[in-house]
Amino acid sequence: MPRQIRQWGPPLLLISPSLIIVGVFVYGLIAINVKTSMTDVHKAAQATGRAPSHFVWFENFATLLGSDAFQHSLKNLLLFTAVFLVGTMVMGFLWAWLLDRPARGEGIFRSVYLFPMAVSFIASGVVWRWLLNSNQGEMASGLNRLFQIVGLGFLQNNWWNNVNVGIAAIALPAIWQLSGYVMALFLAGFRGIPEELREAGRIDGASEWKLYRYVLFPQLSPVALAAVIIIGHMSLKTFDLIMSISKPANYQTKVPAIDMYVFKSSFNYADSAAVGVILLVIVAVLIVPYLVRTARTEKN
């Protein structure tokens, strides 16, 4: 027994502060949030205990998921995530592929592509709000004006003010900011592939395309998956970019995170918590299978 304690004790002691903090501030608060989401605390008075509140199980979830407004938010989130993911993956891969070849000034380009990531979403959102101004014709400014100047006037559109696909326009700045990050991931992936493998492939007579298709791509798939997971979960939680380009009340750019904010400011804590739980579940659906898969791979 003492030997076992000696074996387990010190490591346990060392990680216990973080265990406790994570336990309280992450899992404890998630538990409280889930509990709040199953009550009928829709008014300020109930939150302070001056009015009675009840446990209602999944009623809030049923109401939310059944409401047109929340379905619209979910649809927006799906569209945003799809555009954001495809955009960053394509751009990031393309840049990494270009930089992977020995090119002059590689370091400069690498920095140039990575820099947008250093800007906060709030700051870049303000600039993009000007760029994505939806005025057209004589009143045009931002990108619409640019289209006019270069003779591509027909490309003018109302950007994020389109009620159906407007949210996709907000994915543009997000792609601009995070493509560099995906590039860095892919570049690390490319550099992680031993030169010998390429040489062996070439000696065996593989064309450039075949070399990529059968030698390089398979080795990049873990990196690609990691990139999808990271961009995907960021996209699901996106809030600040939308807040700084649009406004929380704007219907065309509603996503669940915005709903959560609006519910909270209306003292509707139960629905706000319910949106939080729904978001958590969506993110978990994305991440948990990945973690399970990697855990299995590591074991083998």
Of residues 36-55, which lie at the interface with other proteins (CB under 8 A)? 42-45, 47-48, 50-51
Write out the binding residues for other proteins, residues 68-87 only, by CB under 8 A: 69, 72
Question: CB-wise, 5 or 45, nearer to other proteins?
Answer: 45
DSSP letter at 50?
A: S
How crowded is the C-beta side of 200, counted as CA atoms within 13 Å?
8
Binding other proteins (rule: CB under 8 A), the pick from 227, 277, 279, 282 is 227
Asked if 134 and 221 count as a contact pair (C-beta separation under 8 A), the reply is no
- Can you name the residues that pair with 39 across neighbouring β-strands? 55
Binding other proteins (rule: CB under 8 A), the pick from 26, 225, 284, 288 is 225
Question: CB-wise, 61 or 70, nearer to other proteins?
Answer: 70
With residues binned 3-state (H G I as helix, E B as strand, rest as coil), the percentages for the chain, rounded to 5, are 80, 0, 20
Closest approach, Cβ 251 to other proteins, in A, equals 4
Sorted by sequence, the CB contacts under 8 Å of residue 113 that are 6+ apart come out as 95, 179, 180, 183
Closest approach, Cβ 93 to other proteins, in A, equals 15
Closest approach, Cβ 239 to other proteins, in A, equals 9
CA 182 to chain CA centroid, nearest Å: 12
User: Helices 106-114 & 68-100, crossing angle to 10 degrees?
Assistant: 170
Binding other proteins (rule: CB under 8 A), the pick from 22, 152, 188, 288 is 188
How many chain residues interact with other proteins (CB under 8 A)? 72
Write out the binding residues for other proteins, residues 126-185 only, by CB under 8 A: 129, 132-136, 138-139, 158, 160-161, 163, 177-178, 181, 184-185
